[in-house]
Structure 1
Amino acid sequence: MENRKKVAFYTLGCKLNFSETSTIARNLQDEGFDRVDFEEVADMYVINTCSVTENADKQFKQVVRKAMKLNDKAFVAAVGCYAQLKPEELASVDGVDLVLGATEKFKLNDYINDLSKNDMGEVHSCEIAEADFYVGSYSIGDRTRAFLKVQDGCDYKCTYCTIPLARGISRSDELQNVLKNAKEISAQNIKEIVLTGVNIGDYGKGEFGNKKHEHTFLELVQALDEVEGIERLRISSIEPNLLKNETIEFVSKSRTFVPHFHIPLQSGSNDILKLMKRRYLREVYTERVTKIREVMPHACIGVDVIVGFPGETDEHFLETYHFLNDLDISYLHVFTYSERDNTEAAEMEGVVPSNVRAKRSKMLRSLSVKKRRAFYESQLGTQRTVLFEGENKEGYIHGFTENYVKVKTPWNPELVNTLHQINLTKIDEDGSVRMEFASALV
């Protein structure tokens, strides 16, 4: 046992990256590595990168420096989206030994020999057209919930997005494999599974660019609802044009799927949606929200929106602002547009000055605070189920209700990873909701 090497992981970006990091970690553990926290001294540090966040290169360099401070002789590997898009850039960062693109990241063990440092980062990255196979993955052991990957890649051609370049075509896991992974997760006493992917509403497309859908997204949720031992299932993010009424209705009656939807809008102006090459207009978005409210009045609805896209005038922005202000939604994730190499939008006219982008972002973030507050207020006096998280934050334990209200109660380690019926009583100064147990603790 003395010879086992230690490996630590750092994940930048989305839930999908977290699920893939966990799978890579399990593969390395099977090959004789022990996983340790990133703050510990390790023989190898693996950084799973993201291309969506602004300053992706700056963030990456900071993480590499942190690893080198812990152990300047450690082997450093970069994987993930940014590693696919800008491999040479990452390889040139001082301390980086290996960069693996989209098809190679799950075969990390094949590319490491004796973990001795390289003079220059070694790159193994494919043409993205070769990323035509599917690797199923899920995260476990990090939280009270697991992220289960069901789909990868995207066939959409949104003008601002690099994800198709970083992850390739849309392809899905086989239904039986998703169910097998879900059963493995439930056997670990994890109470909640979050479905994740790049474009999960497109679920069902097979491997190798096969456009035929073997199963639909509705069939996926129906099958997962039958898996024994899972208390909660959550849909992470789904395109409005792919969120069908049948799915909304099924979730409203489902045993395990919770009333929480996260639906990207990106702009409330049809002119800008067309420039973005989104596959819907705002009227479709309104229909989806109306349908959810009709069958699940207490549902939580989150919205992604981008400000400062090329060509977005003050009028366009105010169209978005008023559209969201009038819409019965619960919170916003606001992204400030930033130029990405090799995207159509980067060449567009009508560039919005960065100070204007910042101002618009601030306005929408303020609107989000107002929306979340109004949603939380609408839930006061109701009875909900909460799943408690594992962290002691300043003497409190936090958790989320099925409809994504963040609650708090004095710290009690016995509550970690347990579900309880609670009454929502009042909103605290920090924005979370105080609660009372609806029945005595067992």
Structure 2
Amino acid sequence: MMTRQKVAFYTLGCKLNFSETSTIARDFENEGFDRVDFTDPADIYVINTCSVTDNADKRFKTIVKQTQKVNPKAFVAAVGCYAQLKPQELADVDGVDLVLGATEKFKITDYLNDLSKNDFGEVHSCEIEDADFYVGSYSIGDRTRAFLKVQDGCDYKCTYCTIPLARGISRSDTLQNVLKNAKEISEQNIKEIVLTGVNIGDYGKGEFGNKKHEHTFYELVQGLDTVEGIERLRISSIEPNLLKNETIDFVSKSRTFVPHFHIPLQSGSNTILKLMRRRYMKELYVDRVTKIKDVMPDACIGVDVIVGFPGETDELFLETYHFLAELNISYLHVFTYSERDNTQAANMEGVVPKNVRSKRSKMLRGLSVKKRRAFYESQIGTHRTVLFEGENKEGYIHGFTENYVKVKAPWNPELVNTLQEVNLTKIDEDGLVRFSFVSQPLTA
């Protein structure tokens, strides 16, 4: 009897990558492979790469070295955004056997006829124009939360971004298939689904570059709200110009959608927004935040912001800093600008020295800590529902309220993957929130 071969996965980057890794892993399992943890000996290691993180190549080399320490004879495959953008660079890394681009990654098992180590990495990478079809995916791993991919690619031409080069044109899943996947997730006893994609507000564009929207993002939200068995739905990241009033109003009254929005800003200076070729000015952003807070005063609003973009003078950075300081938001994701090959921004004048970028990043991270603290303080004394997660972190269990306040309590395995009614009572020394149960906890 043949021994079943073992496969392990490592994911770099975003929620979208996690959803795709999970789908690729299920394909392996359907082909007769056993999935193991990445730190365990495996016959095949699959690394899903990212093009957004600054030191993607260094991270990749480190991860490949880890696989070789565990099993020097293991077959190593690289897929994902970095594999599409710089396939030969990854193929040249010692220990890499196979590199698959944007369209090939979903057919990875077709390329695994011979798992013997190669003297050099074999590349199968398409022209990005060929990435014009849609492959649906969702993640199941963390029992309490699943990432559901609804859209891929992007038609925007932001001057700093490589994602259109790595993932191709904007295209979407059918509404019917999204609802089917959501139902499959709900049947796995998963309580929360996070919608993910590259530009999910652009949902509705079909395959093969069809610009016609079959359905709108608003219709997607309405449809998902009717799927039985799902306790919570969370919109991950949505462009401010695509977040419409009708969607905000619907979420405010929804059965399952939670009051949490993550809205990329990137800069609080209209001068920089124009250089970035963003599709809005900061006044629209203020309008979106104001609208959300009008109908959902306790909503959590997260913000992406890039510091050190070419042309960002001290004055323009301070414009961004003060803009964010005065805005009624809850936390920041701060990205330090880094040059990307084949982007317009890489050739722009006004390059900001790296030590200045680092200093600005530190300032905004400090502001984020203050914003989160203020938001948490505003929630003390409120009645919330917490979904508890499955990891024992130094004797504590953690969870998130519907509006994304992170709470902690002494470890209790019976709380894992349950929704509990709580009253938020105080902020602990580590910045997390303590609570009291409204009634006797309901176990899983």
Q: TM-score, normalised by structure 2?
A: 0.99
* Distance in 1, Cα, partners of 2:283 & 2:114: 58
Sort the Cα spacing of 1:135 and 1:406 in 2 relative to 1 into closer, same or farther, 3 A. same
Task: Report the counterpart of residue 366 of structure 1 in structure 2.
Answer: 366
Matched, 1:145 2:145: yes
Equivalent residue runs for 1:394-413 within 5 Å: 394-413=394-413
Task: Give the 3-state SS of the residue equivalent to 1:37 in structure 2.
Answer: coil
Task: Report the counterpart of residue 269 of structure 2 in structure 1.
Answer: 269
Matched, 1:378 2:355: no
Residues 117-157 of structure 1, C-alpha deviation per residue, up to 9 Å, x if partnerless? 11100000000000000000000023410000000000000
Q: CA deviation at 1:77?
A: 0.1
Equivalent pair of 2:266/2:273 in contact (CA under 8 Å): yes
Sort the Cα spacing of 1:143 and 1:352 in 2 relative to 1 into closer, same or farther, 3 A. farther
Task: Report the counterpart of residue 47 of structure 1 in structure 2.
Answer: 47
* Distance in 2, Cα, partners of 1:3 & 1:122: 26
Equivalent residue runs for 1:260-409 within 5 Å: 260-409=260-409
Equivalent pair of 2:79/2:99 in contact (CA under 8 Å): yes
Equivalent residue runs for 1:186-201 within 5 Å: 186-201=186-201
Equivalent pair of 2:139/2:147 in contact (CA under 8 Å): yes
Q: Which residue identity is paired with 1:189? A: N
* Distance in 2, Cα, partners of 1:74 & 1:142: 26
Q: CA deviation at 1:66?
A: 0.3
* Distance in 2, Cα, partners of 1:358 & 1:431: 24
Matched, 1:253 2:250: no
* Distance in 2, Cα, partners of 1:85 & 1:441: 49
* Distance in 2, Cα, partners of 1:143 & 1:89: 36
Task: Report the counterpart of residue 438 of structure 1 in structure 2.
Answer: 438
* Distance in 1, Cα, partners of 2:283 & 2:37: 47
Q: CA deviation at 1:113?
A: 1.1
Residues 222-260 of structure 1, C-alpha deviation per residue, up to 9 Å, x if partnerless? 000000000000000000000000000000000000000
* Distance in 2, Cα, partners of 1:60 & 1:175: 35
Q: Which runs of 4+ in 1 moved over 2 A?
A: none
Task: Report the counterpart of residue 38 of structure 2 in structure 1.
Answer: 38
* Distance in 2, Cα, partners of 1:362 & 1:86: 30
Identity over aligned pairs, percent? 85
Residues 365-413 of structure 1, C-alpha deviation per residue, up to 9 Å, x if partnerless? 0000000000000000000000000001111100000000000011000
Q: Which residue identity is paired with 2:357? A: R
Task: Give the 3-state SS of the residue equivalent to 1:146 in structure 2.
Answer: strand
Q: Which residue identity is paired with 2:261? A: F
Equivalent residue runs for 1:130-209 within 5 Å: 130-209=130-209
Q: Which residue identity is paired with 1:221? A: V
* Distance in 2, Cα, partners of 1:178 & 1:219: 12
Q: CA deviation at 1:76?
A: 0.1
Task: Report the counterpart of residue 11 of structure 1 in structure 2.
Answer: 11
* Distance in 2, Cα, partners of 1:171 & 1:229: 27
Task: Give the 3-state SS of the residue equivalent to 2:240 in structure 1.
Answer: coil
Task: Give the 3-state SS of the residue equivalent to 1:188 in structure 2.
Answer: coil
Q: Which residue identity is paired with 1:138? A: Y
* Distance in 1, Cα, partners of 2:226 & 2:113: 44
Task: Report the counterpart of residue 77 of structure 2 in structure 1.
Answer: 77
* Distance in 2, Cα, partners of 1:337 & 1:356: 11
* Distance in 2, Cα, partners of 1:441 & 1:101: 48
Residues 74-111 of structure 1, C-alpha deviation per residue, up to 9 Å, x if partnerless? 00000000000000000000000000000000000111
Q: Which residue identity is paired with 2:281? A: L
Q: CA deviation at 1:441?
A: 2.0
Equivalent pair of 2:81/2:102 in contact (CA under 8 Å): yes
Task: Report the counterpart of residue 244 of structure 1 in structure 2.
Answer: 244
Equivalent pair of 2:388/2:418 in contact (CA under 8 Å): yes
Equivalent pair of 2:330/2:371 in contact (CA under 8 Å): yes
Task: Give the 3-state SS of the residue equivalent to 2:356 in structure 1.
Answer: helix
Task: Give the 3-state SS of the residue equivalent to 1:29 in structure 2.
Answer: helix
Q: CA deviation at 1:3?
A: 1.9
Q: Which residue identity is paired with 2:68? A: M
Q: Which residue identity is paired with 1:280? A: Y
Q: TM-score, normalised by structure 1?
A: 0.99
Task: Report the counterpart of residue 416 of structure 2 in structure 1.
Answer: 416
Task: Report the counterpart of residue 29 of structure 2 in structure 1.
Answer: 29
Residues 344-365 of structure 1, C-alpha deviation per residue, up to 9 Å, x if partnerless? 0000000000010000000000
Q: CA deviation at 1:38?
A: 0.1
* Distance in 1, Cα, partners of 2:31 & 2:108: 11
Q: CA deviation at 1:440?
A: 1.2
Q: CA deviation at 1:114?
A: 2.7
Calculate the aligned-residue CA RMSD, in Å: 0.6
Task: Give the 3-state SS of the residue equivalent to 2:242 in structure 1.
Answer: coil
* Distance in 1, Cα, partners of 2:329 & 2:269: 17
* Distance in 1, Cα, partners of 2:37 & 2:172: 31
Equivalent pair of 2:77/2:98 in contact (CA under 8 Å): yes
* Distance in 1, Cα, partners of 2:108 & 2:217: 31
* Distance in 1, Cα, partners of 2:149 & 2:263: 18
Task: Give the 3-state SS of the residue equivalent to 1:82 in structure 2.
Answer: helix
Task: Give the 3-state SS of the residue equivalent to 1:362 in structure 2.
Answer: helix
Q: CA deviation at 1:2?
A: 4.6
* Distance in 2, Cα, partners of 1:392 & 1:26: 26
Unaligned runs of 5+ in 2: none
Task: Give the 3-state SS of the residue equivalent to 2:241 in structure 1.
Answer: coil
Q: CA deviation at 1:27?
A: 0.4
Equivalent pair of 2:143/2:189 in contact (CA under 8 Å): no
* Distance in 2, Cα, partners of 1:404 & 1:294: 18
Task: Report the counterpart of residue 222 of structure 2 in structure 1.
Answer: 222
Equivalent pairs counted in the alignment come to 442
Q: Which residue identity is paired with 2:354? A: S
Q: Which residue identity is paired with 1:344? A: Q
Task: Give the 3-state SS of the residue equivalent to 1:241 in structure 2.
Answer: helix
* Distance in 1, Cα, partners of 2:356 & 2:168: 33
